[in-house]
Amino acid sequence: MQNTNSPVNLKFVVQEHWATHHHYDFRLEMDGVLKSWAVPKGPPETPGIKRLAIAVEDHDLEYQSYEGTIPAGEYGAGKVQIWDSGDYELKAREPRKFTFELRGRKLYGEYELILMKEEKGHQLWLLFKRG
């Protein structure tokens, strides 16, 4: 396991996104960008619930405060609203697993993202709150 020695004030944001399919965009500030996953059923708020998280392209850090409507015809067209945000501490970073502590209004506590498989060019992760 890699010890990250990460700063405590990294940011995260969860944006509710009404696009072709309603989902939540889960974003962690990392490596100068927002690492991003689409979470169809939303991030879990309690332990014991596991959610599919599909890796999507990294976003610029400025996107962490974005709310509004992406115009029709553009990638991700639809309404975007911040569902939760705060800071986080990266506890461990491995090639197939991230462990981190979130400190938001709705999401609070230790979480993990685990890479389950790659399918048709997409990375499928599992997001859950540790008990």
pTM for the full model? 0.91
Q: What φ, ψ does residue 47 adopt, rounded to 5°?
A: -65, 155
Q: Which residues of the chain have pLDDT under 70?
A: 1-8
Average pLDDT value over all residues in the chain: 93
Whole-number pLDDT of residue 8:
58
Whole-number pLDDT of residue 17:
97
DSSP assignments along 26-70, one per residue: EEEEETTEEEEEEETT---SSTT-EEEEEEEEEE-GGGGG--EEE
Whole-number pLDDT of residue 61:
96
